[in-house]
Amino acid sequence: MNKLLNLAVGAFCCLLFSKIAAQDLDSGILKIDNFLTQGVKKGFSGSAIVFDKGQTLLAKGYGYADKKSKLLNGLDTVFDIGSNTKQFTSAAILKLVELGKLKTSQPVSDFFDGVPQDKRSITIHHLLSHSAGFVESIDQDFNHIAEAEFFDRLFTTKLLFKPGEKYSYSNVGYSVLAKIIEKTSGRSYEEFLQQHFFKPLKIKQTGYLLPDWNKANLAHGYPRNIIDTGAMVERYLEDNKVSWNILGNGGINSTPHDMLIWMRALANNKVLSRKSTELLLGLHQKIKDYEDGRKLFYAYGWGVTLKSDGLRRVSHNGSNGRFWHSIIWYPELERIVLFSTNADSPQLERVASEIDKMLNDGNYHPKPIIKNSYLFAFEFIEENSPSNSKMLFKQIENKYPDTLKQSAFLNRVGLMLMERGKFEWSIELLRENTARFSDDGNLYDSLGEAYFNAGKIEDAAASFKTALKLGKNRECHWCENSQLKLEQIDGLDSNKE
């Protein structure tokens, strides 16, 4: 074969391969869209974006952002991105490094007075890579603790290990980083993000308090697609501040459109220099080795899975129990997957990985999204009386075999029903739970609450007494509540006399 013919055949084969690859990818996108569309019928609502080699192949919203107003999810819908906030914090730290304001090797004692001896060796690098030894958190997201008290409490907590010794995920470590950003820049954490990242990139609907939020686009959170817990942005606006329990480590809200702008800019070194971006994605802290040869590391605000062929899968998730947000990024493949849901459940937390598998393997067929067990129970309860409870338990055991083997399920459903005023159903489920797990005092405390709220005072007293009895000589987080309720019941009896 002559050289010219060889080149022609080679070019034809290359073109044919490209067409086949494109067809496979198009087929995969259709499969993904069908997978998500069918999932809406089973409780999925959210959005998905697939960006590959300069092209947006899928960008779509699914289901409702707000069921009451019938607002549909779209690319401008505002979702809570949870712990994906951490990548903004790590990028901000590296921007300050670029500006010559700090070094990742600096200890926290350079920024905070009176740091205890055991924590003086903690560096910015340790905080970024979750190797400082701090606990995960010290309070709830929306519990507002004064700044001085928050950091005093944090710095007096016992470390889990010596700084740099190993990996342990810590939200509060990123709160420390947020404060370092403020101390170093002289601006608030959110102002720094706006000045250096969001405004230059024309990212307008991302943040906590500073964006001019389009309130018509705020997604409501529906834990397990059941209860409307409202929009997180509304909470920030109502409080007019952001708790240190969440600042810098979680809780930023954004749209799929904004997040794609951000990810493309990050991938093209428009957020940070190439050198800083590689440091951001560095294999800083080993987390685990997989049997197939893959290795998982924590970078700075990102998890990095290194495959045996050297390909990097950069990813992170974020959740607050209402929203779930996932990013999967292959720098070498120029591929980005963005996934959001405002109806968080364990069944939906795997969806981004399923999308990833469909993109990487044309023969992969995911298991369909199924209705989560909580939604199934609530829909059954809406259509049936408590006399059919045995039928409910049987159906749950058939459809979700492991669910009733855990005490948490019926306890949570029962308490949610109690909050909705469905006391008979609540009592039925919580009573069944105490029969299945008769040595768990916490469950008797929950049953006592249901009886108490239903006005069945004698049954409530009996349940609280059992809860206290089972809590004797053990760590008893429910005992204080049981004791208080019994005192209230005694007060009610005294008033009758």
CB 372 within 8 A of CB 346: yes
Give the span between the Cα atoms of 219 and 495, in whole angstroms.
Answer: 47
Q: How many residues does the chain have?
A: 497
Question: What is the band of 315 on the pLDDT scale with cuts at 50, 70, 90?
Answer: very high
Pairing of strands 324-330, 312-319: antiparallel
Neighbours of 204 (CB within 10 A): 18
Of residues 16 and 371, more confidence is placed in 371
**What pLDDT is attached to residue 13?**
36
Residues 313 and 413 in one domain: no
Residues 89 and 149 in one domain: yes
Give the span between the Cα atoms of 254 and 183, in whole angstroms.
Answer: 25
Residues 354 and 397 in one domain: no
Where among 360, 386, 408 does a domain terminate?
360
Domain that holds residue 344: 79-360
**What pLDDT is attached to residue 492?**
76
| pLDDT beyond 80 at 497 | no
The letter for the amino acid at 213 is W
Of residues 378 and 25, more confidence is placed in 378
Q: Comparing C-alpha atoms, which of 65, 61, 321 is closest to residue 214?
A: 65
At 351, list the tokens. 């969806």
**DSSP secondary structure of 308-359:** TTS-EEEEEEEE-SS-EEEEEEETTTTEEEEEEESS--TTTTTHHHHHHHHH
| pLDDT beyond 90 at 456 | yes
Non-local (6+) Cβ contacts of 264 within 8 A are: 51, 336
**What pLDDT is attached to residue 256?**
98
Q: Does any domain span residue 281?
A: yes
- CA dihedral sign, ordered 461, 465, 470, 471: positive
Using DSSP, state whether 487 is helix, strand or coil: helix
Residues 355 and 378 in one domain: no
Residues 167 and 219 in one domain: yes
Neighbours of 455 (CB within 10 A): 9
Residues 141 and 278 in one domain: yes
**What pLDDT is attached to residue 67?**
97
Residues 291 and 163 in one domain: yes
Residues 453 and 389 in one domain: yes
| pLDDT beyond 50 at 357 | yes
Q: Does any domain span residue 355?
A: yes
- What's the structural domain count of the chain? 2
3-state helix, strand, coil in the chain (%, to 5): 50, 15, 40
Q: What is the mean pLDDT of the chain?
A: 94
Q: Comparing C-alpha atoms, which of 344, 158, 320 is closest to residue 251?
A: 320
At 460, list the tokens. 């409530």
Residue reference for tokens 């869209």: 33
Q: Does any domain span residue 10?
A: no
Percent of the chain past pLDDT 70, that is, above it, reads 94
Q: Does any domain span residue 49?
A: no
pTM: 0.90
Where among 302, 329, 360 does a domain terminate?
360
**What pLDDT is attached to residue 18?**
37
Where among 360, 390, 421 does a domain terminate?
360
Phi, psi of 317 (to 5 degrees): -120, 160
Q: Does any domain span residue 26?
A: no
CATH number for 322? 3.40.710.10
Residues 383 and 270 in one domain: no
Residues 348 and 415 in one domain: no
Q: Does any domain span residue 105?
A: yes
Burial environment of residue 299 by CB neighbours within 10 A (0 to 12, 13 to 18, 19 or more): buried
pLDDT tens for 58-110 read 999 999 999 999 999 999 999 999 999 999 999 999 999 999 999 999 999 99
**What pLDDT is attached to residue 4?**
39
pLDDT tens for 4-52 read 334 333 333 333 333 434 555 677 899 999 999 999 999 999 999 999 9
Q: Does any domain span residue 289?
A: yes
**What pLDDT is attached to residue 28?**
86
pLDDT tens for 209-247 read 999 999 999 999 999 999 999 999 999 999 999 999 999
Pairing of strands 46-52, 55-62: antiparallel
Identify the bridge partners of residue 58 per DSSP, sorted by sequence position. Answer: 50
Burial environment of residue 380 by CB neighbours within 10 A (0 to 12, 13 to 18, 19 or more): middle
Q: Mean pLDDT check: name the lowest of 12-21, 277-286, 389-398, 413-422.
A: 12-21
Q: Mean pLDDT check: name the lowest of 25-34, 159-168, 324-333, 403-412.
A: 25-34
Q: Comparing C-alpha atoms, which of 126, 103, 108 is closest to residue 276?
A: 103
Average pLDDT over residues 259-282: 98
CB 447 within 8 A of CB 441: no
**What pLDDT is attached to residue 308?**
86
Give the span between the Cα atoms of 440 and 123, in whole angstroms.
Answer: 43
CATH number for 411? 1.25.40.10
CB 403 within 8 A of CB 373: yes
**What pLDDT is attached to residue 7?**
36
Average pLDDT over residues 385-407: 96
Question: What is the band of 473 on the pLDDT scale with cuts at 50, 70, 90?
Answer: confident
Residues 303 and 162 in one domain: yes
Give the span between the Cα atoms of 130 and 370, in whole angstroms.
Answer: 34
Identify the bridge partners of residue 341 per DSSP, sorted by sequence position. Answer: 46, 324
- CA dihedral sign, ordered 160, 162, 166, 171: positive
Compute CA distances 146 → 114, 119, 143, 150, 157, whole Å.
Answer: 18, 21, 10, 6, 17
**What pLDDT is attached to residue 23?**
53
pLDDT tens for 407-424 read 999 999 999 999 999 999
Residues 255 and 131 in one domain: yes
Using DSSP, state whether 181 is helix, strand or coil: helix
Q: Does any domain span residue 253?
A: yes
Question: What is the band of 160 on the pLDDT scale with cuts at 50, 70, 90?
Answer: very high
Using DSSP, state whether 229 is helix, strand or coil: coil
